[in-house]
Structure formats: C-alpha cells, structure tokens
C-alpha cells in the first residue's frame, strides 16, 4: 500500500498495538503458570493443565494449572490464616495497600490492556480506554472505603474469606469489582478466574505482591468449572459469582443452608427504549455502545431494542447505516470496533440462535463488513420483525446480536421492557425529562441509564433484579456484600423449643357460653377458609387446646401471592402514607394490648409481664418502621461525568415471610414491618406453634386501613408452606426465620426464579433488643437499589 493508494481510497490502514511486552511476560514464565497461593506461584497438586488461547488467532498463549480440591483447600487455608492480620491492620493501612494497587495498575496499564486483549479478544481500544482505567478507579475508590470504614460502618465487621468466581468477558475488571471491596473491608480472597481468561489475574497477583500486598490476602487458583465448584464447597464465608444464570442457580443450590453469604451477578436481556422524542442519532450511537461493545458479550448489553412505532423505520435505517461503519478484526488494531468472540463454542451458540431467530420469522441484517479469514469472529447483527415470543427476544445471546421490536405507548414500553425473567439494566432515550424520569422507576432493573448506556463507576452500585442475580457491586450499596453486622459475630443457635404434647387429661370441651370463634386465613383483605377445609389444633404452652387454625396448602399460598401481586398500589403509595398505616397499626394494637398479652402468655407460656413487654416492644417496632418509612432514603452518587446517578431504594415486590416460634407477636412484627414500610406486599406464614396471635392480628390489620393484599396470612405447616413460597416464581424474595433446616430448604428451593433470600440459618435473634432486631440492616433486605444514571447538559 502506498501513499497514493491511501490518497485515493482514504482507508484507515492498519494501526497495530505492539504486543512484545505482553508476550515477553508470557515467555518469562515459559508460557506456563501455576496457581498464586500465599504470595507465590505454586504448581498444581495434580499437574494437570489446560491451554488458554488467543481468540483472534486460535493460538495457544500459555499452559494453565487446572486447580483441584487440594489446591482450593490450600488457597483457602492461606486466605484464612492471613485474614485476621489483614483485618487487624486497620482501614488506614489497608487503604495504603489498595492505593498501591491502583497505582500499580496505572503504571502497568498498557501491559494489562494488551494482555487482556490477547487472552480475551476484545479490542485494545476497550481494554485501554475502559477496562483498565475502571480497574484503577475501583481500587482508588475502595482505598477510600478502607480509610473511612470505621467511621462509615461502625456496626460492621469483615466477613472473613471470600471465594470469588470471575467471568471471562471482563476478566480483570470483574476481578477488581470483587477484590477491591473485599480487601478494603478487611476480607481476604481466593479468586478463580475464568478458564478462558486467566492471564491478567495472574499478572495482577504477581504485581500486587511486588507492590507489597501481604501474602495470603489475594490467592488465585486457576481452573475450570470443577475448580469453581470446589471453591463453592470450600469453607469460605462468602461466594461472589459473576457469570451465567444457569451456573448461578447451581451455586445457589450448593450453598443453600451453608451460611455462606452469596452475591450473584448473572445474565440479562436488557431493554434499550427509544421514544419518538429522543435524539435519534445519539440513541443510535447508544445502541452501538449497548450491544456491540465487547462483541456483545456483556451481561448488561442492551440487547432488546424497543422503538416507538412512529419512528421505528427511520431509526432502524439510521442504525443500519451506522452499523456499516463498524470494523471487525484484529483486536490489537487500534481502529477495530469489534474483536474476536471468546471461543468457537460461543460463536456456534450465537450463530445457532441467530439462525433460530430467522427461522422463527426475524429479518436478518448484517452489514457488508470484512471478517478476518481466521480466528473467531462474528459480524454485528440486527434482527428486526422480532416478536416478544421469539426465542431471540427471550434468550440471552451473549454476542453482537440485537433484536428490535416496537411499542405504541410509554405504558407498553414498560410492559415490554419488563416482560423478561431478567432485570439487570435498561436504557431510556427521550429528550423529555418528565417522560424519562417517569419510566426509569417503572423498569425492573438494577441499573437504568437515561440517554446513555453502559456507564460504570466504582461509586455506583451495579447488580440485578430477578434472575439477573442479587447483591450490588460498587459504592456504598456494594459494601454490604463484604460486611456483616457486628451483632452476628457471637450469635448462638436458637434453642429448640420443647415440642408441645396435648395434655389429654386437661382437655375440656369448648366453653359453651363463649361464642365460637373460627380463625381463618387472611388473603386479599378478607378472612377466608383454607382451600382444603382442614383445621389444625392449636395448643397452649401447657398442652391445652386453645383453638384451631386453618391448614393452609399450596393453593392458599397461590391465592395469597396473587392477592399480594395485585396490591401493587402499596408499592407506589407515598412514604408518608405508609408511615401513617404503620403508626395506625401500632395504635390499634395498643388498644388491644391486654388481649394480645393474654394470648401470648397462654400460647408461649411466658410470664404475664414478659407477654406485656412483648406487646409493648411490638408497638415500639411498628413505630420504628413507621419512622423509617420516609427516612430510609436513597443516595445521589456523583460518578465522574456531568450528571448524577440516583441510587433509589425500591420495594422488592412480593415477599414471603416465615416467622419463628419464639416471641410470636414480636418476631412477626419485626419481620413484617420493615417489609411493608418499604412498600413490599407480603405473604406471611406465622409461627406454627402460636398461630392464633397472627389470626388475632388480622383484626388489627382490618381496622388499620391496610390495603387489601398488602399483608396476607396463611397458617399451617411452616416447612410445607415455606417450600411452596420459595418455589413460587411470582414471589420476589423470601425471609425465613426458624431452624437451620428451614434456611436450607428455603435457599435450595429458591433457585427457580433466583429470588432473594434472607434467612437466619437457625441462629437466634434477640427480638427484644432494638440494636439487633431492627433498623437499617433489616431495611437493606427489604429494598432493591436501582441506580438511575442521568447525564445532563444543554
């Protein structure tokens, strides 16, 4: 090619980034890596290895140790022994270490970027300008959290050892998202990088220790799914996973009842909504960043384009024109937009899904762009004429494939956007502020970008609703993923209550003088008979029959969930309104304090004064959450852009609540009140032992202006009803307090829709001590945090 040639064609030519430093580093290690455990590289116990390849060429980059259970054991032991000292160092000292890591990343930024591009196949433009700068930013930000941890989180401790499983799409960035907060808050970690992309994690570990990070604080064990499974099973205190929803489910099932804290950042099928008053050219550019960034291998990729019908043709034309300018090719070339797909396996999957989409009636558009002859590449793809029922509109494709649909009204846009099992991110484009800010809160997703897409920052939490996982990464909201309440440190297992046995000798016929009272279920604001029309006998603490309650079954749960789902207005009610209702409940409970005290005394056998205290504490608790209803507020983040990110605290939706047997009224109120204060609607299974307290309580509910369906009560067998609730796909979260068996059951049964769980693993809660039994730690479990990014400017 000559100057004259280029003068004629005005082509870009090639602009390859040099890769000699990165290849030099690989050569220095003889293209062979062990695990990084306790501050040094060690060979795997099994000597088994696998190869990590360069997606752009298919060539091998290095032999990687395949971690075994023994390797994991060793790494966890190293992390465990390092953790107390690391925590004891104090926030300020840890801040210096994290600061050193941030500086280290910046000093070696190009080496990291090139190595990441080699191993992953993503364009150097992205690793250089996005991945690596965000990695450094994450360590800077969390150095800050370490520094101020004692002041900002005075009631929290580190969790201990975190096992962290990293995906292949943003290898080093996802490592940073997990390692930085873990380390900042005094935890140590064992990281399992993705099989396809282990290299930058190993480089990071090597350089981190050169930068003075104490041994054992950061351990890397490479390997495949088996290695990850071994880490999940290992005696760690927390598992953080980013990856597919399918594997997330397996991890949820494996960790059920283990007491391991869990955060999952999973898949998505995120909507990209364009209204007819949007800056269409800006939105087209947004689409490009949404779906062709990182070859579309992005969990929050805006993969479902929803365009208002009137502008759909024009918008799609503009998009097609823009797509023709995309350049696919050697990811090390600085003028490349779309690099290589991670592996031929993924490429075939993408291609199969696209073919399926076409066979189901979609129109295929791929611009006439040159693909390299070798390596693993896929052209940017747009599927139009896609209906919500099409496979490609439902399944996460995880490739550069966009599907496009139209809508007529804002209401329909929201309905289509939320018509998915996922809930990770959404993008809304409109130049009308009132419209965009009306839509954003209505979308079921952890992140909403207004007139923008794929913005990330360490100060802003990231994470999903629904089957996109739970937990947040980044910012204050992400901190809690690596902290536990101090009150949890010395928790004791709940004492098993002596089983009640009916004292046959004291059985007496019902008092014929009193009018018979039939306790029913309370569903949709009405007292209803149980579907099966069976009752269960309720005994007093002394074994005396004191009444009967309905034996709730699956169908009662189904009905209760439907009633709770229908009571959506509660979630939209003003916080002032919700506070009023909580106060009113307290007021009406207090007028019947004596009756409830007598019931508690009879039911749980406590002294009359203890029973009285329980009622008074319950009234106090209602007041507490009445108070918090309009005070547990979100935050305004200030990420580095002209704009803000609003961290909104939203209700989760429909929440199942399984109450424990101790302090039957107070525990019920302690669980129900924070949930309804935050706008959730609940299906509550009261203490199996003392259900009459709950059936008395529905009369208080009825007199307190609580809207129908906000609180539903189903009596019966706790374990049976808990299982049905945990398995119910229209229940968004479940709180279960009782013995450990219950926790395990609830967590393992929750995997269908990956609902959030809040369980006590059989540990006792001191319900009478406000410091442990109420407050923000509880409210955090009652809300989802949605970050709405709003860039502005005229």
Partner 1 sequence: MPRPFDADWIDEIRVNLSAVERRTATLPARRSVKKDAQAAWLLKAVSCIDLTTLNGDDTEGRVRRLCAKARQPIREDLLQALGMGDHKITTGAICVYHRFVAAAVDALKGSGIPVAAVSTGFPAGLVPHDVKLREIEASVKDGAQEIDIVVTREYVLTGNWKALYDEMRDFRQACGDAHVKAILATGDIKTMKNIAKASMVCMMAGADFIKTSTGKESSNATLPVSLVMLRMIRDYYERTGYKIGFKPAGGISAAKDVLNYQILMKEELGRPWLEPSLFRVGASSLLADIERQLEHHITGRYSAYNRHPVG
Which residues are near partner 1 by CB under 8 A?
1-7, 10-15, 125, 128-129, 277-283, 285-286, 289, 317, 325, 334-335, 337, 429, 431, 451-452, 641-643, 791-794
As measured in angstroms, the least distance from the Cβ of 708 to partner 1 is 43
Could you give the 3-state DSSP secondary structure of residue 402?
strand
Cβ(692)–Cβ(549) below 8 Å: yes
* Catalytic-role residue among 54, 265, 548, 774: 265
As measured in angstroms, the least distance from the Cβ of 2 to partner 1 is 5
| 509, 515, 519, 520 alpha-carbon torsion, rounded to 10° | 130
Catalogue the E-assigned strands of 642-755. 643-651, 654-658, 681-685, 711-713, 733-736
As measured in angstroms, the least distance from the Cβ of 325 to partner 1 is 5
At 755, list the tokens. 């609902």
As measured in angstroms, the least distance from the Cβ of 418 to partner 1 is 24
As measured in angstroms, the least distance from the Cβ of 785 to partner 1 is 23
Of 251 and 428, the one with the shorter C-beta distance to partner 1 is 428
Backbone angles phi, psi at 405, to 5 degrees: -135, 170
As measured in angstroms, the least distance from the Cβ of 11 to partner 1 is 7
Provide the residue count of the chain: 794
Of 127 and 588, the one with the shorter C-beta distance to partner 1 is 127
Burial class (CB in 10 A: 0-12, 13-18, 19+), 768: middle
Q: Give 620's DSSP letter.
A: H
Q: Alpha carbon of 136 to those of 15, 114, 132, 133, 643: distances in Å? A: 26, 16, 6, 5, 21
265 catalytically annotated: yes
Strands 218-220 and 188-192: parallel
DSSP 156-221: EEE--EEEEE--SSSHHHHHHHHHHHHHHTT-EEEEE--TT--HHHHHHHHHHHHTTPPTTSEEE-
As measured in angstroms, the least distance from the Cβ of 423 to partner 1 is 25
At 632, list the tokens. 């547990």
Cβ(591)–Cβ(584) below 8 Å: no
At 654, list the tokens. 């429909």
Q: Give 567's DSSP letter.
A: -
Please give the Cα distance from 6 to 4 (Å, whole number): 5
At 122, list the tokens. 């993503």
* Catalytic-role residue among 54, 116, 126, 299: 299
As measured in angstroms, the least distance from the Cβ of 285 to partner 1 is 5
Of 27 and 433, the one with the shorter C-beta distance to partner 1 is 433
299 catalytically annotated: yes
Q: Which helix (H) or strand (E) holds 655?
A: strand 654-658
Could you give the 3-state DSSP secondary structure of residue 473?
strand
DSSP 229-284: HHHHHSS-SEEEEES-HHHHHHHHHHHTTS--EEEEE----EEEEE-TTS-HHHHH
As measured in angstroms, the least distance from the Cβ of 279 to partner 1 is 4
Could you give the 3-state DSSP secondary structure of residue 40?
strand
Show which residues are catalytic. Answer: 265, 299
């Amino acid at each position: 090619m000559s100057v004259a040639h280029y003068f004629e064609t005005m082509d870009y030519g090639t602009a390859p980034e040099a890769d000699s430093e990165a290849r030099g580093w690989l050569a220095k290690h003889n293209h062979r890596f062990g695990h990084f455990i306790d501050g040094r590289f060690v060979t795997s116990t099994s000597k088994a290895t696998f190869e990590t390849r360069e997606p752009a060429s298919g060539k091998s980059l290095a032999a990687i140790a395949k971690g075994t259970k023994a390797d994991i054991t060793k790494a966890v032991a190293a992390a465990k022994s390092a953790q107390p000292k690391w925590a004891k160092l104090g926030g300020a000292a840890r801040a210096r270490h994290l600061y050193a890591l941030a500086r280290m990343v910046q000093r070696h930024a190009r080496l990291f970027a090139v190595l990441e591009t080699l191993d992953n196949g993503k364009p150097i433009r992205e690793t250089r300008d996005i991945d690596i700068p965000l990695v450094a930013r994450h360590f800077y930000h969390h150095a800050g959290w370490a520094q101020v941890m004692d002041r900002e989180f005075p009631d929290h401790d580190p969790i201990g050892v975190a096992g962290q499983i990293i995906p292949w799409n943003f290898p080093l960035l996802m490592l940073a998202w997990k390692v930085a907060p873990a380390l900042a808050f005094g935890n140590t970690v064992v990281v399992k990088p993705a099989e396809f992309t282990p290299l930058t994690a190993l480089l990071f570990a090597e350089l981190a220790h050169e930068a003075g990070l104490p041994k054992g604080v950061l351990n890397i064990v490479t390997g495949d799914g088996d290695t990850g499974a071994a880490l999940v099973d290992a005696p760690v205190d927390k598992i953080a996973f980013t990856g597919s929803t399918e594997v997330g489910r397996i991890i949820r099932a494996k960790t059920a009842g283990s007491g391991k804290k869990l955060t999952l950042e999973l898949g998505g099928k995120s909507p990209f909504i364009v209204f007819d008053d949007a800056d269409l050219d800006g939105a087209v550019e947004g689409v490009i960043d949404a779906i062709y960034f990182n070859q579309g291998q992005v969990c929050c990729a805006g993969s479902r384009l929803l365009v208002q019908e009137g502008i759909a043709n024009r918008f799609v034309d503009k998009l097609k024109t823009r797509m023709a300018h995309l350049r696919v090719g050697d990811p090390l070339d600085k003028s490349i937009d779309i690099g290589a797909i991670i592996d031929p396996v993924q490429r075939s999957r993408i291609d199969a899904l696209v073919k399926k989409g076409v066979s189901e009636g979609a129109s295929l558009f791929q611009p006439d762009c040159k693909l390299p002859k070798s390596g693993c590449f896929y052209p940017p793809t747009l599927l139009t004429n896609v209906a919500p029922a099409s496979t490609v509109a439902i399944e996460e494709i995880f490739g550069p494939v966009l599907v496009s649909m139209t809508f007529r009204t804002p209401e329909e846009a929201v309905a289509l956007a939320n018509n998915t099992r996922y809930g990770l991110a959404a993008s809304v484009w409109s130049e009308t502020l009132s419209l965009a800010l009306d839509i954003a809160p209505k979308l079921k997703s952890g992140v909403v970008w207004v007139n923008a897409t794929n913005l990330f920052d360490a100060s802003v939490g990231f994470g999903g609703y629904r089957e996109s996982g739970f937990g947040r990464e980044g910012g204050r909201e992400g901190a809690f993923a690596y902290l536990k309440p101090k009150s949890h440190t010395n928790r004791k297992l709940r004492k098993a209550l002596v089983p009640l046995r009916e004292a046959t000798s004291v059985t007496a016929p019902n008092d014929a003088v009193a009018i018979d009272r039939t306790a029913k279920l309370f569903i949709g604001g009405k007292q209803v008979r149980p579907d099966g029309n069976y009752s269960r006998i309720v005994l007093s603490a002394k074994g005396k029959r004191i009444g009967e309650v309905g034996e709730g079954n699956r169908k009662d749960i189904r009905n209760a969930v439907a009633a709770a789902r229908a009571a959506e207005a509660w979630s939209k009610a003003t916080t002032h309104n919700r506070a009023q209702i909580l106060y009113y409940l307290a007021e009406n409970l207090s007028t019947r304090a004596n009756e409830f005290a007598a019931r508690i005394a009879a039911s749980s056998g406590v002294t009359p004064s203890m029973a009285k205290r329980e009622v008074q504490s319950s009234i106090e608790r209602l007041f507490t959450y009445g108070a918090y209803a309009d005070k547990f507020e979100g935050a305004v983040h200030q990420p580095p852009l002209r704009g803000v990110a609003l961290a909104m605290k939203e209700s989760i939706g429909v929440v199942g609540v399984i109450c424990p047997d101790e302090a039957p009224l107070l525990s019920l109120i302690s669980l129900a009140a924070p949930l309804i204060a935050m706008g959730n609607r609940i299906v509550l299974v009261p203490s199996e032992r003392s259900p009459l307290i709950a059936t008395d309580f529905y009369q208080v509910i009825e007199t307190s202006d609580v809207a129908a369906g906000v609180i539903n009560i189903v009596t019966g067998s706790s374990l049976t009803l808990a299982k049905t609730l945990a398995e119910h796909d229209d229940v968004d979260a479940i709180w279960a307090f009782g013995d450990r068996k219950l926790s395990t059951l609830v967590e393992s049964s929750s995997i269908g829709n990956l609902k959030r769980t809040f369980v006590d693993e059989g540990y006792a809660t001191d319900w009478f001590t406000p410091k442990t039994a109420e407050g923000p730690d509880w409210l955090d479990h009652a809300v989802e945090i949605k970050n709405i990014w709003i860039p502005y400017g005229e």
